[in-house]
Amino acid sequence: MIVCDNTQRRYALHTAHTTYQMAADADGRLLHLYYGKRTDAPRTIAPPHNDPGCWPDLLPQEYPAPGLGDNHAPFFAPEWSDGSRAAALHFAGAEVCPAQEVLPGLPSFHTGGETLRITLQDPQSLTVTLRYTVFADCDLITRSAVVENTGSAPVTLRGVPSGVVDFARKDLDLITFDGAWAAERTPFRGPVRPGVQSIGSVGGIPTHAHNPAVVLCAPDATENRGDCWGLALVYSGNFRIQTERTTAGIRVSAGIEPYGFAWPLAPGECFSTPELALVYSEQGLGGMSRCFHDAVRSHLLRGRWRDLTAPRPVLLNSWEACYFTFNEEKLLTLARAAKTAGADLFVLDDGWFRGRNSDTTSLGDWVADCAKLPEGVPGLCRKIKALGLDFGIWVEPEAISPDSDLYRAHPDWALQIPGRDTLEIRHQYTLDFSRADVREGIWQQLTALLDSCPVRYLKWDVNRSLANVWSAALPADRQGEVYHRYVLGLYELQQRLVDRYPDLLLENCAGGGARFDFGMLYYSPQIWCSDNTDALDRLMIQYGTSFFYPPCVMGAHYSTVPNHTTGRTASVEARMAAALSGTFGFELDLTQYTPEQLDELRPFVDFYHAHGALLRTGTLYRLCPPDGGAAWAIAAPDGSEAVVFASGCVLDGRSLPLPFAAGHHAYRAAMLATGLEGCTERYSGESLAVHGLPLPALRGNMPGFLCHLQQED
Ligand code: GLA
| Model pLDDT, residue 54 | 67
Under the phi-then-psi rule, with left for phi > 0, alpha for psi from -120 to 50, and beta for the rest, what region is 639?
left
Tell the CATH topology of 622-711.
Answer: Immunoglobulin-like (2.60.40)
| Model pLDDT, residue 127 | 98
| Model pLDDT, residue 44 | 81
CA 501 → CA 399, 488, 498, distances in Å?
Answer: 22, 20, 5
Q: Which of 349, 365, 369, 461 is catalytic?
A: 461
The DSSP output letter for 140 is E
| Model pLDDT, residue 304 | 85
Q: What is the CA radius of gyration of the chain?
A: 26
CA 656–ligand 1 middle distance (angstroms):
37
Ligand 1 atom at minimum distance from 512 CA: 8
The DSSP output letter for 227 is -
Residue-range domain boundaries for the chain: 2-299, 305-528, 622-711
- Residue 245, strand partner residues: 194, 250
- Residue 461 is among the residues annotated as catalytic for this protein: yes
DSSP labels for 475-510?
-GGGGGGHHHHHHHHHHHHHHHHHHH-TT-EEEE-B
User: Which of 463, 464, 588 has most ligand 1 atoms within 8 Å of its beta carbon, as the pocket-test mutant?
Assistant: 463
Q: Is 587 in the pocket of ligand 1 (CB under 6 A)?
A: no
The DSSP output letter for 591 is G
Percent of the chain with pLDDT over 90: 91
Distance CA 91, CA 490 (A): 35
Peptide bond into 48 cis (omega under 30): yes
Distance CA 25, CA 10 (A): 9
| Model pLDDT, residue 102 | 78
Ligand 1 atom at minimum distance from 509 CA: 8
User: Which of 324, 325, 347, 350 has most ligand 1 atoms within 8 Å of its beta carbon, as the pocket-test mutant?
Assistant: 350
CA 511–ligand 1 middle distance (angstroms):
5
Burial status of residue 485 (CB atoms within 10 A of its CB: 0-12, 13-18, 19 or more): buried
Class (C level, CATH) for 305-528: alpha beta
- Residue 531 is among the residues annotated as catalytic for this protein: yes
Extract the residue ranges of the chain whose pLDDT is less than 70. 46-54
Tell me how far apart the 2 most distant CA atoms of the chain are, in Å: 82
| Model pLDDT, residue 69 | 82
> Closest residue (by CA) to atom 7 of ligand 1?
511
| Model pLDDT, residue 53 | 61
| Model pLDDT, residue 46 | 63
> Closest residue (by CA) to atom 2 of ligand 1?
511
When the candidates are 2.70.98.60, 2.60.200.30, 3.90.280.10, 3.40.50.10860, the CATH number that belongs to 2-299 is 2.70.98.60
Q: Is 114 in the pocket of ligand 1 (CB under 6 A)?
A: no
| Model pLDDT, residue 662 | 84
Distance CA 521, CA 525 (A): 5
Q: Is 404 in the pocket of ligand 1 (CB under 6 A)?
A: no
| Model pLDDT, residue 372 | 98
| Model pLDDT, residue 51 | 61
Q: Is 381 in the pocket of ligand 1 (CB under 6 A)?
A: no
Ligand 1 atom at minimum distance from 510 CA: 8
Ligand 1 atom at minimum distance from 349 CA: 10
pLDDT digits (tens, 9 = 90+) for 524-557: 999 999 999 999 999 999 999 999 999 999 999 9
User: Which of 426, 427, 509 has most ligand 1 atoms within 8 Å of its beta carbon, as the pocket-test mutant?
Assistant: 509
- Residue 217, strand partner residues: 173, 228
Cα of first residue to Cα of last residue in the chain, in angstroms, is 38
Q: Is 512 in the pocket of ligand 1 (CB under 6 A)?
A: yes
Q: What's the pTM value of the predicted model, to 2 decimals?
A: 0.97
Q: Is 394 in the pocket of ligand 1 (CB under 6 A)?
A: yes
Distance CA 422, CA 227 (A): 47
| Model pLDDT, residue 306 | 80
Q: Which of 122, 531, 534, 537 is catalytic?
A: 531
DSSP labels for 350-416?
SS-BTT-SSTTS-TT--SB-TTT-TTHHHHHHHHHHHTT-EEEEEE-TTEE-SSSHHHHH-GGGB--
